């Protein structure tokens, strides 16, 4: 590897929904003390989100996956404890099983008010949460090169993270409904491909000069060069309910990026495929998670995700060893064994209905599961 290799440092952001422990409904107007108390305990790494019922945490810059686990566990634990003192609980799920976006209150910040004015109902429906993983790639040109290659793997990451099967009390039939809501905004979906960092800057400058965006924080692609840090920010994932799944995905992302960099240092690269083909896999991940397989674009046929994931893990084995996260990255196979959060939510709902529960009782049971699993292993 080159002496100028990226640092591959890590940072993870997670968004949670706050629910009333008694009613299991969203907390429409939680007390401001939650953010104040949690902020004091977490060095101000807890922030308000667009809706009052949302809360976001962000890790420090971490040197490895083990530091991410330690820091993210602490952040989750603080939110669980602080919210609990106010009769609330966080759930790490990308949609609430029966929450109504029309009932929510908005955080009174200028950037959120501006978003609501500009995007109207498309913004007001954003009762969704995600997980963003930053990986340190300090060189501008390398960051763009890896952006272009990493796009291929975005559907695979989504398939392992799905946690939004319900919307407004209905089973949507999709494992990740979140992206159908987020996709109503402009500048979402797969990232554009650029030949250089300069080309990327020129395209962004068109939007800035036209007065359409102030900066690149308004590029909401599934993967983007961070506007604030020298990182690639992977944003396609639903937020994972279990912290073990979040750590597995973090490890998978950094290992894939190291593998792509390693190929580059050997004058090789991942093959370019048209976005229409990657979009097809992205849709399959939204619809089925991993249940119905994905297209192996080289072999031009749908294969089981377990087979594809096993091949990927073999390809990044060297990188996982070097980064000291072999056990964490191999936990991706455990997600396939036990299912994503979306699978477990549907299982809980259907089992309660089969046992005679009414719809609201079954949905309450799903919330209870989400509360328990969000706090699991902390």
* DSSP per-residue codes, 120-164: THHHHT----BEEEEEE---HHHHHHHHHHHGGGHHHHHHHH--B
Please report which confidence band the pLDDT of residue 159 belongs to, taking 50, 70 and 90 as the band edges: very high
Q: Give the span between the Cα atoms of 314 and 325, in whole angstroms.
A: 14
Query: Which of 219, 100, 236 lies closest to 163, judged by CA?
Result: 236
Q: Give the span between the Cα atoms of 28 and 99, in whole angstroms.
A: 10
Q: Let me know how many helices (H) and strands (E) the chain has, helices first.
A: 16, 13
Q: How far is CA 105 from CA 58, 102, 116, 340, in A?
A: 23, 9, 12, 30
* pLDDT tens, residue by residue, 35-80: 999 999 998 899 988 899 999 999 999 999 999 999 999 999 999 9
Please report which confidence band the pLDDT of residue 109 belongs to, taking 50, 70 and 90 as the band edges: confident
Q: Give the span between the Cα atoms of 274 and 289, in whole angstroms.
A: 21
pLDDT of residue 304: 98
pLDDT of residue 227: 87
Q: Is the pLDDT score of 235 beyond 60? A: yes
195: which residues sit within 8 A by CB, 6+ positions away? none
CATH topology of domain 11-374: Creatine Kinase; Chain A, domain 2 (3.30.590)
pLDDT of residue 364: 98
pLDDT of residue 84: 97
Task: Extract the tokens encoding 306.
Answer: 């377990």
> pTM for the complete prediction?
0.96
Instruction: Say which residue the tokens 């609330």 belong to.
Output: 88
Q: Give the span between the Cα atoms of 307 and 61, in whole angstroms.
A: 33
pLDDT of residue 365: 98
Which residues, listed in sequence order, are joined to residue 56 by a DSSP beta bridge? Answer: 15, 47
Q: Is the pLDDT score of 160 beyond 70? A: yes
């Amino acid at each position: 590897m080159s002496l100028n290799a990226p640092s591959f440092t890590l940072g993870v952001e997670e968004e949670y929904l706050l629910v009333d422990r008694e009613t299991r409904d969203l907390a429409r107007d939680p007390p401001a003390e939650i953010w104040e108390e949690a902020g004091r305990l977490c060095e101000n790494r807890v922030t308000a989100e667009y809706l009052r019922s949302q809360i976001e945490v962000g890790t420090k810059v971490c040197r490895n996956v083990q530091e991410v686990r330690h820091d993210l566990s602490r952040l989750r634990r603080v939110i669980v404890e602080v919210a609990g003192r106010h009769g609330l609980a966080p759930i790490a799920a990308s949609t609430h099983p029966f929450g109504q976006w029309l009932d929510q209150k908005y955080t009174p910040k200028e950037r959120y008010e501006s978003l609501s004015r500009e995007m109207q109902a498309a913004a007001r429906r954003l009762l969704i949460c995600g997980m963003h993983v930053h990986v340190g790639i300090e060189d501008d040109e390398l960051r763009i090169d890896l952006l272009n290659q990493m796009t291929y793997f975005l559907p695979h990451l989504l398939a392992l993270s799905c946690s939004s099967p319900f919307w407004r009390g209905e089973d949507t039939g999709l494992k990740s409904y979140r992206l159908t809501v987020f996709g109503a905004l402009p500048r979402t979906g797969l990232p554009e491909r650029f030949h250089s960092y300069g080309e990327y800057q020129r395209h962004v400058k068109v939007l800035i000069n036209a007065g359409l965006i102030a900066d690149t924080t308004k590029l909401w692609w599934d993967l983007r060069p961070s506007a604030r840090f020298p990182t690639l920010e992977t944003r396609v994932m639903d937020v994972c309910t279990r912290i073990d799944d979040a750590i597995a995905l973090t490890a998978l992302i950094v290992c894939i990026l190291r593998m792509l960099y390693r190929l580059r240092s050997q004058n090789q690269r991942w093959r370019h495929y048209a976005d229409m083909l990657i979009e097809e896999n992205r849709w399959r991940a939204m619809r089925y998670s991993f249940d119905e397989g994905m297209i192996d674009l080289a072999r031009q046929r749908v294969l089981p995700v377990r087979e594809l994931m096993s091949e990927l893990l073999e390809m990044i084995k060297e990188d996982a060893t070097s980064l000291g996260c072999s056990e964490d990255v191999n936990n991706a196979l455990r997600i396939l064994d036990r299912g994503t959060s979306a699978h477990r939510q549907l299982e809980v709902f259907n089992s309660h209905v089969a046992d005679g529960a009414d719809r609201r009782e079954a949905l309450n049971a799903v919330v209870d599961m989400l509360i328990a699993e969000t706090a699991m292993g902390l």
